[in-house]
Amino acid sequence: MSFFRSTTVPQGSVARQGKDSESSIYLDHQATTPLDSRVLDRMLPYLTDQYANAASHHAAGRAAAAAVDEAREQVAGLVGGRASGVVFTSGATEANNLAIRGLAEAADTRLGVVTVATEHPSVLEPVAALAAKGAPVLVLLVGPDGEVDLEQLTAALDEQTLVVSVMAANNEIGTLHPLPQIVDIAHRAGALVHCDATQLIGKLPLDVGAIGIDLASMSAHKLYGPKGVGALVLTRDAARRLSPQLLGGGHERGHRSGTLNVPGCVGFGEAAAIAADAMQEEAPRLTLLAKRLLSGIEVVGDVTLNGPATDRLPGNLNVSIKGTAGDDLMLRMPSLAVSTGSACSSASPRPSHVLLAIGRTHEEAASALRFGVGRFTTEEEIDRAVGTIVDTIKTVRTESRGALTGRPA
Ligand code: PMP
């Protein structure tokens, strides 16, 4: 795999967040990211002195609302959306549910949904719930790198299609979808496009306005912001066609009732602003670190990359390691925070639906590890992680050879 044979990584712009060289190594940035200390600093006043409800009409309330509106601008600025189209939610799960269920509930003629087999469960499950109620639903299969077949997509659309829901970047195998082409195809068929942009934003540029994405979901905790806050970014047309899923005081222009999480929104805004600045330098650094990790692990042989070898979500790596089981490797490497699939589905013992969708066998899927490199990961940590991973794989393989031959390993 020549693409992944790179070595040096510039370390210059990386702020270390109080790590010592003996601490455990966090390589699970697709599951979540640490809170950037600059984000925490920005949030702190709203967790302490400035606690007013952003819906209150007194001066303190208006100040909180102004801080939330600034965050709206920052989030919209990162993704090229309208600030007034930013609906703050509790995260991307809620944003995905609001998009799909909200559009379906408001629709009268077009009721069809087209999505992709490798989407996040927070898209697939609401879509399955609509199918169970009789909506015409099509789930597209993907190619060996998780790619969508645009001809299949074109053929799947008709005058019944309400919305096409396709993620920007896959959280398990890092596939990047060609959003401009997808939007073009969907719009030509008269369908809206919802994009779960959770993994892409802050890592690669996204301009929902220029591309024409109608609804985009995102979550602060994937870009060094706090957990429990996200957004659905809407065009005017999508905003008109969405039924709220949380009813109450009419917050967020009626799209999502509930007292706003002011510190969360402020933190999300700051995280978005930092990412907008840092992204251009950070993305190549993350890609190099992930390549370094792969070339280190590949030394053991029989390692298969899951997902594309090029044009991949920066920092993401997913490999199947023959003769091992991902959960066993994880248990044997307590100093490493990695994942066997997506964290969201890791509570279930079933193999990853994404790995099965790209044609991996159950055994290959069970032998997969997902790594996610992030803003504060250092080259030294990658090298230390490689040492641990390689030693552990060798031990497991030697033990299983011993078990097969009946001789002590
Ligand atoms: N979509 C994708 C692609 C994700 O990776 C995640 C987080 N695993 C979600 C949605 C859900 O995000 P949240 O944790 O904010 O609910």
Q: What is the pLDDT of residue 47?
A: 98
Q: What is the pLDDT of residue 120?
A: 97
The model's pTM = 0.93
CA angle 258, 122, 184 (to 5 degrees): 100
CA dihedral 244, 245, 249, 253 (to 10 degrees): -30
DSSP alpha helices (H): ranges in 107-149?
A: 121-132
Q: What is the pLDDT of residue 345?
A: 52
Q: What is the pLDDT of residue 106?
A: 97
Across the 409 residues of the chain, what is the mean pLDDT of every consecutive 10-residue run? 34 47 86 98 98 98 98 98 98 98 96 98 98 97 98 98 98 98 98 98 98 98 98 98 97 98 98 98 98 98 98 98 95 96 57 96 95 98 98 96 64
Give the bridge partners for 234, in sequence order. 215
Atom of ligand 1 nearest to the CA of 220: 15
Atom of ligand 1 nearest to the CA of 119: 3
pLDDT in tens, 343-372: 445 555 689 999 999 999 999 999 999 999
Distance 63 CA to ligand 1 centre (A): 30
Atom of ligand 1 nearest to the CA of 94: 16
Q: What is the pLDDT of residue 404?
A: 65
Q: What is the pLDDT of residue 319?
A: 98
Residues annotated catalytic, as ranges: 344
- Is residue 217 a contact partner of residue 268, using CB atoms and an 8 Å limit? no
At 32, list the tokens.
């979540």
Strand runs (DSSP E) across 289-384, as ranges?
A: 303-305, 316-321, 336-337, 368-372
pLDDT in tens, 36-71: 999 999 999 999 999 999 999 999 999 999 999 999
- Is residue 291 a contact partner of residue 378, using CB atoms and an 8 Å limit? no
Measure the CA–CA gap between 193 and 162, rounded to whole angstroms: 9
Residue whose Cα lies nearest atom 10 of ligand 1: it is 92
Distances from the Cα of 1 to the Cα of 6, 318, 392, angstroms: 11, 14, 22
Cβ-count burial of 330 within 10 angstroms (0-12 exposed, 13-18 middle, 19+ buried)? Answer: middle
- Ligand 1 pocket check for 198: Cβ under 6 Å: yes
Residue of 98, 176, 198 to mutate, ligand 1, most atoms within 8 A of C-beta = 198
- Is residue 92 a contact partner of residue 198, using CB atoms and an 8 Å limit? yes
Q: Which of 187, 194, 200, 129 is nearest to 157 (CA)?
A: 187
